[in-house]
Amino acid sequence: MNVRWAIAPLAAATLLAACTGEAAKPYEEVRPVRVTVAGRNTGSVGSAYSGAIVARYESQLGFRTGGKVVARLVDVGAIVKRGQPLMRLDPEQQALQVASASADVDAAKSRVAQARIDLQRSEQLLARQFASRAELDQQKLALDQAEAQLRSAQAQREIHANQRGFTVLTADRDGVVTAIGAETGQVVGAGQSVVTVAAEGEREVAISIPEGRVDELRNARSLQVSIWAHPGRHWKGVLRELAPATDSVTRTYAARITIQDPDRELLRLGMTASVSAPDVDGTSAIRLPLTAIVDAEGRRHVWVVDPKTTRVAPREVVLGSAQDDSVLVTSGLAGGETVVTAGVHMLQAGRQVKLPALPKAEDAPGDAR
């Protein structure tokens, strides 16, 4: 009995529809979406790169001879002047070499003196016909060899004397010590870097550029340098150096940005800095969130909403530069269109959507709402 009473309303509804001659309309779900109004602005997506402040000129100093370090005269952070001693080696070995070279010089002088006496004796004997011309020539040759050996010994003594002076490492310019590579008691080799001195003067920011951003950095109309320790302060930068090849580990290009008119009191070595390129190409383009882009079979399009019918239609677009969560649309949109930014993968052409309160185009040049 209960079943019959439950079926009765359904049967009545069916009979009523048949009597009126109207077919039941299929149900269409209206999907809520997030949208933005595409606005055209000047300048492309800005780029920002993190790095550290370094000196343009940095010297890695080492001894010109090997030996044992007996004194370290500076610490990291010490301000040094040109010619100031930084480290000393044990000079005993070099002193012995100088003494040995001096003895070789004395011996060479004795051989020269003996060769001259022998030459004079040969000349006297030749004048009295007791010696031949060949013997005289041999004595002249012996004197030339003795004099050559003397010059060689004197040069060796100068070399060892210079090496004795090389046991003191001095600063080659005014600057600040940024690294120490040897301690007292350590044996170092000739040319081994033991002290690093950053020169006073120009300051730069060392950054690394991804492969896809090299052209953007080259084409940047302006660069701005900011320091994390001093928010709100900005300095103008200029690209001075860009590596021709990538780093074998990071696969990035090393670049140096020169800071114009640096404030040495604020810009200290090693500080974390950020280099931004707010205007890469200066062209007019539309900026949209990446979530608005649909990639289908190699073609990219966006969903444009008809404000009268609130139905969507695909619009193919050409993309430009991208950064973080935004991308430039260089063609395909004229500006002022309502573009879906969330829920794009659940839409079909002609689908009706539910819109939130729309921002004005002049107030939102591409920011997602």
Give per-residue pLDDT as tens, 88-109.
999 887 788 888 888 999 999 9
Residue 367 domain flag: no
The reply to whether 158 and 176 lie within a common domain is: no
Q: How far apart are CA 283 and CA 280, in angstroms?
A: 9
The reply to whether 64 and 194 lie within a common domain is: yes
Q: What is the pLDDT of residue 7?
A: 47
Supply 1's token pair. 């009995």
Supply 5's token pair. 């009473």
For 239, counting Cβ atoms within 10 Å of its Cβ (0-12 exposed, 13-18 middle, 19+ buried), the class is middle
Q: What is the pLDDT of residue 318?
A: 84
Cβ(50)–Cβ(183) below 8 Å: no
Q: What is the pLDDT of residue 364?
A: 43
33 DSSP 8-state letter = -
CA atoms lying within 13 Å on the CB side of residue 294? 19
The reply to whether 298 and 262 lie within a common domain is: no
Residue 231 domain flag: yes
Beta bridge partner(s), residue 58: 198
Cβ(154)–Cβ(104) below 8 Å: no
Kindly report the CATH number assigned to the domain that includes residue 290.
2.40.420.20
Q: Which residues, 6 or more positions from 173, have their beta carbon under 8 angstroms from its beta carbon?
A: 57, 59, 82, 197, 199, 200
The reply to whether 267 and 243 lie within a common domain is: yes
Helical (H) or strand (E) element with 154: helix 133-165
The reply to whether 215 and 271 lie within a common domain is: yes
Place of tokens 């041999």: 138
171 DSSP 8-state letter = -
Residue 241 domain flag: yes
The reply to whether 177 and 73 lie within a common domain is: yes
Residue 300 domain flag: yes
The reply to whether 82 and 175 lie within a common domain is: yes
Domain housing 141: 92-165
For 246, counting Cβ atoms within 10 Å of its Cβ (0-12 exposed, 13-18 middle, 19+ buried), the class is middle
Kindly report the CATH number assigned to the domain that includes residue 111.
1.10.287
Cβ(205)–Cβ(256) below 8 Å: yes
Residue 24 domain flag: no
The reply to whether 52 and 63 lie within a common domain is: no
Q: How far apart are CA 192 and CA 188, in angstroms?
A: 7
The reply to whether 216 and 348 lie within a common domain is: no
- Parallel/antiparallel/unpaired status of strands 353-354 and 31-32: parallel
Q: How far apart are CA 366 and CA 369, in angstroms?
A: 9
Domain boundary pick from 245, 277, 309? 277
CB count in 10 Å sphere of residue 100: 12
Q: How many domains, in total, are found in the chain?
A: 4
Q: What is the pLDDT of residue 5?
A: 45
The reply to whether 213 and 328 lie within a common domain is: no
Domain boundary pick from 231, 261, 277? 277
Residue 13 domain flag: no
Beta bridge partner(s), residue 187: 68
- Parallel/antiparallel/unpaired status of strands 175-180 and 223-227: unpaired
Q: How far apart are CA 292 and CA 303, in angstroms?
A: 8
Place of tokens 């701005």: 224
Q: What is the pLDDT along the chain (369 residues), one digit of tens a residue?
A: 444 544 445 455 454 445 555 555 555 677 788 888 887 654 445 567 889 999 888 889 999 888 899 999 999 989 999 999 999 999 887 788 888 888 999 999 999 999 899 888 888 888 888 878 888 889 899 999 999 999 999 998 888 888 777 889 999 989 999 999 999 999 999 889 999 999 887 889 999 988 877 877 887 777 889 888 888 888 899 899 999 998 888 889 999 999 988 877 788 888 899 888 765 554 556 788 888 888 877 788 888 888 888 888 888 888 876 666 777 787 888 888 888 888 788 888 888 888 776 555 444 444 433
Kindly report the CATH number assigned to the domain that includes residue 178.
2.40.50.100
Cβ(86)–Cβ(184) below 8 Å: no
**Averaged confidence pLDDT in the chain:** 81
Cα-Cα-Cα-Cα dihedral sign, residues 223, 254, 266, 233: positive
The reply to whether 125 and 191 lie within a common domain is: no
Residue 259 domain flag: yes
Residue 176 domain flag: yes
Using the CB atoms, write b or e for 170-182: b if 16+ within 10 Å.
bbeeebbbbebeb
Q: How far apart are CA 308 and CA 338, in angstroms?
A: 11
Using the CB atoms, write b or e for 185-213: b if 16+ within 10 Å.
eeebeeeeebbbbbbeeebbbebbbeeeb
Cβ(209)–Cβ(215) below 8 Å: no
The reply to whether 334 and 302 lie within a common domain is: yes
Longest dimension (CA), the chain: 166
Domain boundary pick from 165, 190, 222? 165
Q: What is the pLDDT of residue 25?
A: 53
